[in-house]
A and B are shown apart, each in its own frame.
Chain A
Amino acid sequence: MTYRPEFRWLKLALAFQLSLGTMACTYVNAVSQTNLPQQRRKVVRAQTQRYIFLGFNFDNDYPYRLIDRLKSQCPDGRVRGLLTKDTTTLYFLFFFWSREQLAEGYCVVDAKNDLAAVTVASTASSLTPEAQNGSELDDRATITNSVEILEP
């Protein structure tokens, strides 16, 4: 096969075609999944992204922001059943791309902590005016009754 000058342009055209064809393509790099809780109603989700040009990336601290963002969505509970996904999106082949990390989990509030909060709230609301102004015995009776009703 003899070399022809137009082969060079063919290679360039193929490379350009490949870069156009893979533009905005997203590839999954890594996936992890932790134990899933029993209660799975409230979903919390966080995402971080870093655009990289010509491979210049000077730190990898941006995924740590996922933790703060998840905590802010679940301030009084625990985030469990976490699915973490690390992906790469190509924008122009090897010149410009982005790395994204997605974390999705479930916010689970421990019933004991929630029970204590409800007990305090119900006690405050159930105190009669006489109890609020008067004897300590009435207060203790009201509080005891509230706790007995609410505890499992």
Chain B
Amino acid sequence: MTKWAALTGTLWLLSGCVTVHSISVSQIPVKAERTKLIKASASRPILFFIPFGTNYVEEARQELAAQCPHGEIEGLVSKGESVGYFIGVAIARINLQGYCVANRSKNAKET
């Protein structure tokens, strides 16, 4: 009984723990261009070690791109993390943050 109580208490204390799995930072623009900060995030639950898709990463990127439709997004910080709530219940999350730089690359043209 004591062991089960100790185990349950430990698991309860560990709920809400956040673990970073991956992080990356891209080239940061000059200070004058760091005026508009944009953020986006997406997540998926993992119930009893069963995830429900990995497309949330693309969703976060689309959400971020929608906030800067006519500019370049630079200084991107991407952070992949998971939050544990209780036994077998967790959330996988991706956070994206960057600067929207408008009126750049007028010579750039897509195919």
- A-side residues, CB < 8 A to B, are 18, 21-22, 25-42, 74, 76-77, 81, 83, 85-87, 104, 106-112, 114, 152
Please report the C-alpha to C-alpha distance between residue A108 and residue B108 in the assembled complex, in whole angstroms. 7
A22 and B72 contact, CB distance less than 8 A: no
B57 in complex: contacting residue of A28, A38, A74, A108, CB < 8 Å: A28
A36 and B73 contact, CB distance less than 8 A: yes
A33 and B26 contact, CB distance less than 8 A: yes
Interface string of B84-111 (1 = CB under 8 A from A): 0000000010101010000011111111
A35 and B108 contact, CB distance less than 8 A: no
A108 in complex: contacting residue of B27, B54, B110, CB < 8 Å: B110
* B45 located at the interface, meaning its Cβ lies under 8 Å from any Cβ of chain A in the complex: no
Please report the C-alpha to C-alpha distance between residue A30 and residue B24 in the assembled complex, in whole angstroms. 9
For B56, give the chain A residue with the smallest CB separation.
A28
A residues less than 8 Å from B48 (CB atoms): 21
A109 and B111 contact, CB distance less than 8 A: yes
B21 and A33 contact, CB distance less than 8 A: no
B residues less than 8 Å from A37 (CB atoms): 72, 105, 108
